[in-house]
């Protein structure tokens, strides 16, 4: 079958790690995500990033183009990073996979001037509880008095262009941040001094506004995933799809649809799926898989394009009958080979676990 030839052609395929962005309000989560999308586009290549439903995929080649000398692409065999577009710990904590966090890794954004704030603490508690590895983006370095902005540069190259006074001011803030992390039980340091990212938190000075440090942030996320998550990424990429519902949305011409982050396997048009609903799990058949149409004109009705299949990790909109009672945060599973009742039982079990947490 098709599936066999694909998996045979791609035996060691690893899935893309899923990245969430958390942090206190106004510390720059949205700007950071916009910057990552924008600078990847500026790199110029077609397909530099792919806009998914609810997520943005940044391939390894794009990261290595942006990171220049920071990254040797041959050091990596993970395909890139998938950023969930909805920042904030509310979405992080409601989006689960098998009882754990949907995201494999996280970026905790902290305004360097503002330091730890209530939602920073909450985010840290959630990351701790879910055991999610994270890095700290010490954001808004460009607001340091006397800062000489270096658009899109790696942070150490930018630091070379700063006055001693500006660098010292920034360092004071960064050391305070490192102290706050230590108060929370995390030993942290400037990322370039960290050897073991499992026992130490890397702090990456960045500006979401000027793009300084963004190459470093992407490099550190890639390195962290490659080093510590390779085994988890070695899933059966051709197996039955498994995902989490981000949102249930009505779309003209389709009725209720599911915005899903697929974290395992493949989903195809025509597949039978089971999704968690308000009552019993819903069993239905995929009528269409939809992705945002690139460069869609705002006024055109066709905001989406159909695709035949989607592989993890990815964001996708699923159109299917009978989705009105589906719930955001609920699991979605493709039935392929297995018995429908067994998959329903699995979905019921996952829902119960989410409700207990």
CB of 206 to ligand GDP, least distance (A): 7
Report which residue's Cβ sits closest to ligand GDP: 28
Residues numbered 279 to 318 that lie near ligand GDP (CB under 6 A) are none
The stretch near ligand GDP (CB under 6 A) out of 26-34, 75-83, 269-277, 339-347 is 26-34
Instruction: State yes or no: 86 annotated in a binding site.
Output: yes
CB of 88 to ligand GDP, least distance (A): 8
Token reading at 318: 């699923």
Partners of 201 in beta bridges: 188
Query: How many residues belong to the site for ligand GDP (CB under 6 A)?
Result: 16
CB of 40 to ligand GDP, least distance (A): 17
CA distances from 26 to 109, 116, 120, 160 (A): 10, 12, 11, 28
Alpha-carbon gap, residue 323 to 338, rounded angstroms: 22
CB of 190 to ligand GDP, least distance (A): 18
Instruction: State yes or no: 241 annotated in a binding site.
Output: no
Instruction: State yes or no: 29 annotated in a binding site.
Output: yes
Residues numbered 70 to 129 that lie near ligand GDP (CB under 6 A) are 87
The stretch near ligand GDP (CB under 6 A) out of 29-37, 48-56, 91-99, 296-304 is 29-37
Instruction: State yes or no: 90 annotated in a binding site.
Output: no
Token reading at 262: 């697929």
56 near ligand GDP (CB under 6 A)? no
Lay out the site mask for ligand GDP across 176-215 (x = CB under 6 A, - = otherwise): -------------------------------xxx------
Omega of the bond leading into 313 within 30 degrees of 0 (cis): yes
Residues numbered 133 to 162 that lie near ligand GDP (CB under 6 A) are 139-140, 142-143
Beta strands 304-307 and 288-292, pairing class: antiparallel
DSSP 55-110: EEEEEHHHHHHHHGGG--GGG--S-EEEEESS-SHHHHHH-EETTEES-SEEEEEE
Phi and psi torsions of 257, nearest 5° = -125, 165
CB-based contacts of 213, cutoff 8 Å, min separation 6: 137, 141, 154, 155, 158, 204, 205, 206, 207
CA distances from 203 to 200, 220, 233, 244 (A): 9, 10, 24, 30
Instruction: State yes or no: 52 annotated in a binding site.
Output: no
Which one, 207 or 225, has the nearer CB to ligand GDP?
207
CB of 286 to ligand GDP, least distance (A): 33
Alpha-carbon gap, residue 207 to 138, rounded angstroms: 8
Which one, 56 or 139, has the nearer CB to ligand GDP?
139
Which one, 118 or 337, has the nearer CB to ligand GDP?
118
Interface pick for ligand GDP out of 3, 7, 13, 30 (rule CB under 6 A): 30
Are 63 and 218 within 8 A, CB to CB?
yes
Instruction: State yes or no: 266 annotated in a binding site.
Output: no
Handedness of CA 284, 291, 89, 19 (dihedral sign): positive
Instruction: State yes or no: 23 annotated in a binding site.
Output: yes
Binding residues: 23-30, 85-89, 139-142
Binding site residues, ligand GDP, CB under 6 A: 23, 25-31, 87, 139-140, 142-143, 207-209
Binding residues for GTP: 23-30, 85-89, 139-142
């Amino acid at each position: 079958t098709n599936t066999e030839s694909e998996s045979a052609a791609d035996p060691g395929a690893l899935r893309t790690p899923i990245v969430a962005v958390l942090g206190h309000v106004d510390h720059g989560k949205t700007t950071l995500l916009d910057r990552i999308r924008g600078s990847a586009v500026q790199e110029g290549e077609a397909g530099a990033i792919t806009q998914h439903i609810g997520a943005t995929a940044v391939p390894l080649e794009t990261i290595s183009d942006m990171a220049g000398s920071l990254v040797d692409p041959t050091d990596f065999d993970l395909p890139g990073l998938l950023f969930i577009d909805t920042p904030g710990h509310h979405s992080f904590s409601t989006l689960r996979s098998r009882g754990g966090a949907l995201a494999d890794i996280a970026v905790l954004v902290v305004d360097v001037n503002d330091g730890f704030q209530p939602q920073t603490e909450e985010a840290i508690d959630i990351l701790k509880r879910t055991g999610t590895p994270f890095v700290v983006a010490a954001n808004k370095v460009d607001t340091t008095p006397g800062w000489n902005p270096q658009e899109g540069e790696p942070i150490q190259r930018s630091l070379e262009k700063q006055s001693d006074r500006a660098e010292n001011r920034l360092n004071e803030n960064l050391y305070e941040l490192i102290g706050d992390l230590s108060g929370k039980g995390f030993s942290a340091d400037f990322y370039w001094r960290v050897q073991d990212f499992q026992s130490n938190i890397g702090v990456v000075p960045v500006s979401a506004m000027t793009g300084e440090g963004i190459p470093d942030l992407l490099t550190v996320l890639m390195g962290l995933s490659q080093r510590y998550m390779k085994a988890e990424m070695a899933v059966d990429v051709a197996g039955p799809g498994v995902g989490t519902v981000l949102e249930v949305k009505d779309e003209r011409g389709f009725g209720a649809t599911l915005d899903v982050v697929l974290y395992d396997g493949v989903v195809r048009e025509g597949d039978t799926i089971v999704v968690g609903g308000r009552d019993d799990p819903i069993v239905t058949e995929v009528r269409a898989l939809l992705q945002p149409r690139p460069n869609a004109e705002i006024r055109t009705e066709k905001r989406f394009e159909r695709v035949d299949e989607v592989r993890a990790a990815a964001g996708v909109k699923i159109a299917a009958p009978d989705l009105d009672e589906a719930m955001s945060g609920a699991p979605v599973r493709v039935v392929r080979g297995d018995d429908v009742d067994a998959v329903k039982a699995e979905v019921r079990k996952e829902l119960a676990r989410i409700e207990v947490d």
